[in-house]
Amino acid sequence: MSVHPRPSAGARPPQALRPRHVPQRTCIACRTVQAKRGLVRIVRTPQGRVQVDLTGRAAGRGAYLHRDVGCLAEGLRKGRLAKTLRATLSAEDQAALERSLQEIITVDEQGTARRET
């Protein structure tokens, strides 16, 4: 007669590994849903400043855009960015956002070119 060990009360049978959850966000300009890492977060800070949030964790109200100047232009043109952030964007704020996003795109393109070679 063989003795089988009795499972402990808290033990669970092994389960198949679940795929890791990937946060999804929607680009406010083109309304495309994509992984959060593929988008850039624009945030209105509690002090009222509007800036690009590279960490994705800055305090404040956020909106997501593709890493594309076209999506930024579309979001600004239709007023979606201002409406989503619940803020009025001055011409200076818009110009600063365009410069910041252009820098991010340039860095992304250089990183992609390095990986391909």
**Which CATH number is 37's domain given?**
3.30.1230.10
Enumerate residues 6+ apart whose C-beta is below 8 A from 64: 25, 26, 27, 28, 36, 39, 40, 41, 42
Is position 6 within any domain? no
Is position 17 within any domain? no
Host domain of residue 30:
24-116
Residue 6 is given by DSSP the state P
Confidence of residue 108 (pLDDT cuts 50, 70, 90): confident
Is position 18 within any domain? no
pLDDT at residue number 34: 97
Number of domains in the chain: 1
2-6, 11-15, 64-68, 96-100: which has the minimum mean pLDDT? 2-6
16 vs 93, more confident: 93
110 vs 104, more confident: 104
Is position 9 within any domain? no
Is position 11 within any domain? no
